[in-house]
């Protein structure tokens, strides 16, 4: 039996649904048999494949991620696409990725702007230094900067009133639902990356209320929620004096909310 087949069987026995694909990725990740064995052991013990490989795919690119950091989800490509669809997604846009985690979402928006983000500015921020280290590795090569701290505290004052695209995939899982998450998330992603408080909107409540002074004219805040949170999130956006757009995704039962300042606002 070949190495790939044996590895696939080990991964399948450990409950990995995409065992064949994972075996190929693990085999391609190193030429060192001992390192391969360590990686397979971590994976079969339940660690997310992305943490084991140190890489994650989002929006057609590979980004750095690792233990202790939220693994960007493919559904966030909808937030990236929604941001790039807005009139504010100009070549010279100022982009902020708040609650950036690995920074892959902000990086993908930057690189999707006209002229590949070369004339744009990206600042990302997260409260967790482990996330900030990955975000820096991911976006500094494209000229992005990263701050550490609680929400707005990590943004330079010079960005006040200038942000065209304010991306914020914040934690939004209600505390009572954390136990229902897959073990990979529950056991390997930090709780502050997932826990959104009693109704899931604790962090987003502060983000939406605090966003208007940071947004430029015609700028927008984009964030993700679950379908059941859309009504409450809409109320938050309206109370902040922002226009509301809702892009529902029936496949994931989630939504991207677009909270925008009127062009004359």
Ligand X SMILES: C[S@@+](CC[C@H](N)C(=O)[O-])C[C@H]1O[C@@H](n2cnc3c(N)ncnc32)[C@H](O)[C@@H]1O
Q: Which residues bind ligand X (CB under 6 A)?
A: 70, 72, 76, 99-102, 104-105, 126-128, 131, 150-151, 169-171, 192-193, 203
Pairing mode, strands 94-98 and 121-126: parallel
Q: What is the DSSP letter of 11?
A: H
Output 43 or 205, the one with its CB closest to ligand X: 205
For the CB of residue 27, give the shortest distance to ligand X in the complex, in Å.
26
> What's the CA gap between 116 and 40, in Å, rounded?
37
Rounded to whole angstroms, the Cα distance separating 256 from 253 reads: 11
Least distance in angstroms from the C-beta of 131 to ligand X: 4
Closer to ligand X at the Cβ: 203 or 222?
203
Residue 221 host element (H or E): strand 215-226
Residue 128 C-beta: closest distance to ligand X, Å: 4
Q: Which is nearer to ligand X, 40 or 211 (CB)?
A: 211
User: Which candidate, 167, 181, 240, places its Cα nearest to that of 210?
Assistant: 240
Question: CB of 22: closest distance to ligand X in angstroms?
Answer: 20
Q: How far is CA 241 from the centre of its chain?
A: 26
Q: Are 14 and 44 a contacting pair, CB within 8 Å?
A: yes
Choice between 148 and 234, CB closer to ligand X: 148
Nearest approach, Cβ of residue 187 and ligand X (Å):
16
DSSP one-letter code for 174: -
User: Looking at beta carbons only, is 165 or 170 nearer to ligand X?
Assistant: 170
SS3 172: coil
């Amino acid at each position: 039996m070949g190495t790939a087949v044996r590895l696939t069987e080990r991964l399948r026995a450990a409950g990995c649904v995409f065992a064949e694909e994972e075996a190929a990725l693990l085999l391609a990740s190193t030429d060192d048999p001992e390192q391969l064995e360590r990686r397979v052991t971590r994976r079969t013990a339940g660690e997310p494949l992305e943490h084991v490989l140190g890489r994650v795919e989002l929006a057609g690119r590979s980004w750095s991620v690792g233990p202790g950091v939220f693994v960007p989800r493919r559904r966030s490509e909808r937030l990236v696409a929604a941001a790039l669809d807005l009139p504010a997604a100009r070549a010279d846009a100022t982009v902020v990725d708040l609650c950036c985690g690995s920074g892959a979402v902000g990086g993908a928006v930057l690189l999707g702007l006209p002229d590949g983000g070369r004339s744009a500015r990206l600042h990302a921020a997260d409260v967790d230094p482990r996330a900030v280290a990955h975000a820096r590795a991911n976006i500094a090569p494209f000229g992005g900067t990263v701050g550490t701290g609680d929400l707005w505290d990590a943004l330079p004052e010079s960005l006040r009133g200038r942000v065209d695209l304010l991306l914020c995939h914040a934690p939004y899982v209600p505390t009572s639902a954390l136990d229902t998450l897959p073990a990979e998330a529950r056991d390997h992603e930090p709780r502050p990356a997932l826990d959104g408080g009693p109704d899931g909107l604790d962090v987003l409540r502060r983000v939406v209320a605090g966003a208007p002074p940071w947004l430029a004219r015609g700028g927008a805040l984009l964030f993700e929620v679950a379908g059941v949170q859309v009504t409450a999130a809409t109320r938050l956006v309206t109370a902040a004096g922002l226009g509301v757009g809702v892009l529902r995704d029936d496949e994931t039962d989630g939504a991207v909310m677009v909270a925008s300042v009127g062009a004359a606002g």
